[in-house]
Structure 1
Amino acid sequence: MSIDLFAGIYVRDYETAKAWYARVLGSEPAFLPSGTEAVWELAEHRYLYIQQNAEDAGHAVRTILVDDLDARVARIADRGIEPAERETYPDGMRKAVYRDPDGNRIGYGGPPR
């Protein structure tokens, strides 16, 4: 069975958010469906998009699981963004949480060290 994902995040200021997400995700959007929506392909058939919607901005919570959390966090730091918080769960799983300008939470999770 194949699973595709198309997860969205509402933002207040499209241009500011697009620049911030390009830095956090490490690439420019894969495509721009409209003047207020940008889409990144995280993996085959797995997309994250932002869309301008001031009324609903700031309430998203997303976590992206990666094989090498430390490398991912280091690459994001090289682009000038540090995690707002870090978490380690009882089973050793770890998470670095970033907050966009609207307060939306984007986390990267990874296995124990």
Structure 2
Amino acid sequence: MMFEMTIQLRVTDFEQGQKWYEKLLKRRPDFMPHEGFAEWEVIPGCWLQIAEGIPSEGSGPLRLAVNNLEAEQERIARELNVDHFEIYARDEVPVRWGTFTDPWGNQIGFFEYLDKNEQNEVMKKVWGNHVI
């Protein structure tokens, strides 16, 4: 039985990488067990790790659900100097999405549910009565 997951991204400059991901995730890491390594529990049981090292070529993207795709697009352009990225949608897909890269070449993205009732149901499933 699987019950938790982690994904690790590598950055060549750990100090700058930590600062960049703190801005992206809007908070400090939840866990830093040793030098050159940081973790954020993005949602219960789902951890994003950054580690000092050479980024893996061609991996990703890691996409994170957001309430407002355009607002996040504007925020990361302003706060993280991320280039404008295209927002995509397809009739048969229940979300809109966009992908960008961090300064080390890791592919990151956001997606937004088109149906806010569906989004709320997913949030309840993940967060229970502790929806933020």
CA RMSD of aligned residues (A): 2.5
Instruction: Indicate if the aligned counterparts of 1:31 and 1:40 stay in contact, CA closer than 8 A.
Output: yes
Instruction: Indicate if the aligned counterparts of 1:84 and 1:97 stay in contact, CA closer than 8 A.
Output: no
Distance 2:29 2:12 in 1: 18
Equivalence for 1:96 = 98
- CA displacement at 1:41 relative to structure 2: 1.1
Q: 1:105 to 1:29 in 2, by over 3 A?
A: same
- CA displacement at 1:53 relative to structure 2: 1.4
- CA displacement at 1:29 relative to structure 2: 0.8
Letter in 1 for 2:40: W
User: How many corresponding residue pairs?
Assistant: 111
Letter in 1 for 2:98: A
TM-score normalised by the chain length of structure 1: 0.79
Which has the bigger relative contact order, CA under 8 A and spacing at least 6?
A: 1
Distance 1:99 1:80 in 2: 11
Distance 2:101 2:7 in 1: 17
Q: How does 1:5-44 map to 2 (within 5 A)?
A: 5-44=5-44
Instruction: Indicate if the aligned counterparts of 2:65 and 2:111 stay in contact, CA closer than 8 A.
Output: yes
Distance 1:103 1:38 in 2: 18
Letter in 2 for 1:22: E
Distance 2:104 2:84 in 1: 13
Distance 1:85 1:112 in 2: 19
Q: How does 1:37-56 map to 2 (within 5 A)?
A: 37-54=37-54
Distance 2:85 2:111 in 1: 12
1:41-90 Cα distance to aligned partner (Å, 9 max, x none): 11111110101112xx1534111223443444454455344454123121
Q: Percent identity?
A: 26
Ranges in structure 2 where 5+ consecutive residues have no aligned partner: 116-132
Ranges in structure 1 where 5+ consecutive residues have no aligned partner: none
- Structure 1 residues 41-50 or 82-91, which shifts more? 82-91
TM-score normalised by the chain length of structure 2: 0.69
- CA displacement at 1:98 relative to structure 2: 2.8
